[in-house]
Amino acid sequence: MIRASPVASGGQHALRLRRMRQLAGAAGPVPAWYPDARPVAGPVRAIRPVVWRAARLVAGFGELLMATAATLPREKPIPLVSAEQLAWGVRYRPWPTDEHVTVALPVDRWLARRTWMCLPGPPRTGTVIAEVPSIATPLEQQIWRGIHEGAHLDHLAYLARGGPRVPSPEEFGRGLLVAESYAMAVEILAAVECVLDGQGLAVRQLGAGLIERAARLPGGLKPAAEFVDLPTLAEVYLLGPLELLTAARGGGPGAAAHRAAVLPGELAATLAARWTQACASYPPAAAFMAAAQALTGAD
Ligand SMILES: [Zn+2]
């Protein structure tokens, strides 16, 4: 994948890959065709206006969720164990799977970054989740693992039904943009379902997660260093789920086509069914969607 892309300098991201490779040891020296670690050359484009609007909308919904969370019962967090957190998330993920294997990775989460992937060998789908020493609270990790990364595993497993694809195209490039759109759509769905279930702590954490995705945009209130030179990726966590969820509810004329183009069959249908139900049961979600529809339709 890296060899096929004409990237000369990868800045902080190339540096991270080099550090990972040193740790891996068995992977050998960095190949000559790897991007070097000089800063990414040329200007980095600004965040698009439609994304700033999406950011305000998503952060506003996050604030509403946090205010709602304060009125809900406080459930007990799930222990810091990957399998238990993924099992908790099953009921909030529209197409849950449990076909992955868990591998221990002796690096911290910031160095590992993406912990979901397809690797050669078992299981049938090739899906793997890396267990890394946690730097988060059990509740933060419960949402990352049980909802967001769980949704990534479901997505990979769905695409591998005809046989494993290693690596999966969903791990890189345009495929990664779809993957993050799906994981964020599942987070928003889970937030509403957790409101309906009276899971106050999960709702608060999911709401805070939405606010954080808006604040971390380059030029945002709390920009994240890792996204400074990746505006397209930073944007997709905000606009991507709105596009998928508005498509899931019918949306404008292009919505169904968009849904079919980016998210395949049953994965799209199960998301659509659950989100339609969630909006019917929780009016603020329907209002959020109406605003999202105006925004995605206007772009
Ligand atoms: Zn993700």
Query: What pLDDT sits at residue 258?
Result: 61
Instruction: Tell me the C-alpha to C-alpha distance, in Å, between residue 81 and each of 10, 71, 104, 206, 271.
Output: 34, 28, 12, 19, 26
**pLDDT for 235:** 97
What residues pair up with 118 in beta bridges, in sequence order? 127
- CA 154 to ligand 1 center in whole angstroms: 12
CA of 115 to the centre of ligand 1 (A): 9
Helix (H, G, I), strand (E, B) or coil at 38: coil
152 Cα: distance to centroid of ligand 1 (angstroms): 7
The alpha carbon of 143 and the centre of ligand 1 are apart by a number of angstroms equal to 11
Distance 149 CA to ligand 1 centre (A): 6
How, if at all, do strands 116-118 and 127-131 pair?
Answer: antiparallel
pTM: 0.93
User: Which ranges of the chain would DSSP assign to H, the alpha helix?
Assistant: 11-24, 49-69, 82-89, 109-112, 138-143, 150-159, 173-197, 200-215, 231-248, 255-262, 265-281, 283-298
Give the Cα separation of 136 and 141 in Å (integer). 6
CA of 151 to the centre of ligand 1 (A): 8
What's the 226 CA to ligand 1 centre distance in angstroms?
14
Distance 92 CA to ligand 1 centre (A): 16
Q: How far apart are CA 94 and CA 83, in angstroms?
A: 18
CA 34–ligand 1 middle distance (angstroms): 24
Ligand 1 centre to CA of 148 (Å) is 6
pLDDT in tens, the chain (299 residues): 677 777 778 888 888 888 887 776 667 778 888 888 888 777 889 999 999 999 999 999 999 999 999 999 999 999 999 999 999 999 999 999 988 889 888 887 778 888 999 988 777 778 999 988 877 899 999 999 999 999 999 999 999 988 888 888 889 889 999 999 999 999 999 999 999 999 999 999 999 999 999 999 999 999 999 999 999 999 999 999 999 998 866 655 566 666 666 788 889 999 999 999 999 999 999 999 999 999 987 33
| DSSP bridge partners of 129 | 102, 116
Taking the centre of ligand 1 as the mean of its atom positions, its distance from the CA of residue 286, in whole angstroms, is: 25
3 alpha carbon – ligand 1 mean position (Å):
23
* Cα 101 to averaged position of ligand 1 atoms, centre (Å): 18
Distance 65 CA to ligand 1 centre (A): 21
Amino acid at 280: A
Q: Specify the pLDDT at position 250.
A: 61
Cα–ligand 1 centroid distance for 189 (angstroms): 15
The one-letter amino acid code at 138 reads P
How far apart CA 123 and CA 121 sit, in angstroms, is: 6
Distance 292 CA to ligand 1 centre (A): 21
C-alpha of residue 179 to centroid of ligand 1, in Å: 7
